[in-house]
Amino acid sequence: MILFSGLYNLGIAIYYFAITLSAWAGKVKARLWKQGRYQWPVRMHVAIPPGTPLIWVHAASLGEFEQGRPVLEALRSHYPSYKILLTFFSPSGYEVRKDYQGADYIFYLPLDTRRNARIFLDIAQPRLALFIKYEFWYHFLTALHARNIPTLLVSGIFRPQQVFFKWYGGLFRQLLERLTHIFVQDDRSLQLLTSAGIKNVSRSGDTRFDRVWALRNEKRTLPLIEQFCTGKHILVAGSTWPEDEQLLAACWSQMLPDMALILAPHEVHTTRIDQLMAMFPQAQRYTRLAAGEALHSNVLIIDNVGMLSALYHYAMITYVGGGFGKEGIHNILEPATYGKPVLFGPIFDKFPEAPALIAVGGGFIVKDAASLLRILQLFVQDTTAWNTAAQAAAAYVEAGQGATGKVLTYIAEKRFLSNP
């Protein structure tokens, strides 16, 4: 364990050095990562009064936050005397949700060192800690375990390729044993963990289903989007990367004249938006439309953040990006919850919801421009095919609800949060 700890600390130090170099080189995310952690103990001391009854929820980034959000908000509702501390590792989560009203305190997670973990827990003194999906920080988990603070992993997902299941993964498996309980999304993850000797695990399902199903009832209206969509068949392409956009551009000139595209890239910095405008010269930027520019195009590029989940509501067909990159697809449940057929690329091995959605008839693999064009034209021209796929997508999400309730029931049964 001493050797493991030493190697781990070396890796953390190298990571911090790399982030520092990137920040000096002008990388925006690295700069935000550094700035957001500046003097964090002082800021936490000022923000959190000593003795505050507190629940700590940690999410790596924005996607994990949305995944854990139903649990966070249910805890806030069921245990109103407790404050919520929300931490993020990535700027893409913190910068978007730093003003989120559902948490009382929001910070970046400090770098995972023994000293930082000790100081953080000395200040926060959480009664319960929840990590969303796959955050396994050695020093934080060790310190939580040493202090007997109940620590849960929510919506965990595990694959055979992960280090926990390798012959040399014994010390990593010990990290999992330091969690009080692991809630996993699927049977494969449950079987992997139990086969590896991990007993503190159960299948709850994925809390994202609870979150995205709730989106149906939020009914967020976007007047400019409604204006753009009038009289058109709408394809909303969300969280796209260059590979996705090249595919869309290749087939777009062959689409039916009443087809329109709303394109929301994963990254919205100036360089990316300029690249999209070069791919789609006739396109219009949402911010300029919002500034009063007259509508003049059937391609709308979303050059801001925070709109995507509401945009899917306006679609006839949806495309979710990431399926041609090494990390795989983004959130396909958001469009499915609105009852929209969901198209995506072939790389989705880390996401069990993709083959499941395909199996029920609500999801469709796109391998190239020709297959994308073929599927789009099918749904535009065949109302029956579209209705069947749309109903299957919505039914799949509806059937997947319930994970949040299982987590809350466990917390109540274990009496982790008695009245302070």
Nearest to 88 by CA among 41, 36, 45: 36
pLDDT in tens, 245-265: 999 999 888 877 789 999 999
pLDDT at 338: 96
pLDDT in tens, 30-60: 999 999 999 999 999 999 999 999 999 999 9
| C-alpha to C-alpha distance for 367 and 365, rounded to whole angstroms | 6
Strand order in the sheet with 284-285: 284-285, 299-301, 259-265, 233-240, 317-320, 342-344, 363-365
The overall average pLDDT reported for the chain is 93
pLDDT in tens, 104-163: 999 999 999 999 999 999 999 999 999 999 889 999 999 999 999 999 999 999 999 888
Whether pLDDT at 189 is above 60:
yes
pLDDT in tens, 320-329: 999 999 889 9
pLDDT in tens, 74-99: 999 999 999 999 999 999 899 989 99
Tell whether the torsion through CA atoms of 183, 189, 191 and 197 is positive or negative: negative
pLDDT at 2: 66
**What is residue 108's three-state secondary structure?**
strand
pLDDT at 250: 92
Whether pLDDT at 67 is above 70:
yes
pLDDT at 420: 52
Per DSSP, the residues of 190-257 read HHHHHHTT--SEEE---HHHHHHHHHHHH----HHHHHHHTTSEEEEEEEE-HHHHHHHHHHHTTS-T
Cβ atoms of residues 255 and 232 within 8 Å: no
Buried b (16+ CB within 10 A) or exposed e, 92-113: bbbbbbeeeeebbbbbbbbbbb
| C-alpha to C-alpha distance for 57 and 88, rounded to whole angstroms | 9
| C-alpha to C-alpha distance for 334 and 61, rounded to whole angstroms | 17
Domain boundaries, the chain: 37-205+402-414, 220-399
State percent of the chain over pLDDT 70: 99
Catalytic residue among 64, 66, 135, 353: 64
Which band of pLDDT confidence, cut at 50, 70 and 90, is reported for residue 3? low
Whether pLDDT at 28 is above 90:
no
Domains 37-205+402-414 and 220-399 share a fold: yes
Instruction: Give yes or no: 64 in active site.
Output: yes
Q: Which amino acid is at 140?
A: F
Whether pLDDT at 1 is above 80:
no
* CATH code of domain 220-399: 3.40.50.2000
Which band of pLDDT confidence, cut at 50, 70 and 90, is reported for residue 419? low
Query: Mean pLDDT over residues 19-23, rounded?
Result: 89
Which band of pLDDT confidence, cut at 50, 70 and 90, is reported for residue 7? confident
Q: Counting Cβ atoms within 10 Å, is residue 115 exposed (0-12), middle (13-18) or buried (19+)?
A: exposed
pLDDT at 350: 85
pLDDT in tens, 261-316: 999 999 888 999 999 999 999 999 999 999 999 999 999 999 988 889 899 999 99
Nearest to 83 by CA among 112, 103, 106: 103
Q: State the DSSP H helix or E strand holding residue 398, giving kind and residue range, or none if neither.
A: helix 383-399
How far is Cα of residue 319 from the mean position of the Cα atoms in its chain?
17
pLDDT in tens, 327-351: 899 999 999 999 999 999 999 988 9
Whether pLDDT at 166 is above 60:
yes
Q: What is the third-level CATH fold of 37-205+402-414?
A: Rossmann fold (3.40.50)
Report the predicted TM-score, pTM, of the whole model to 2 decimal places.
Answer: 0.85
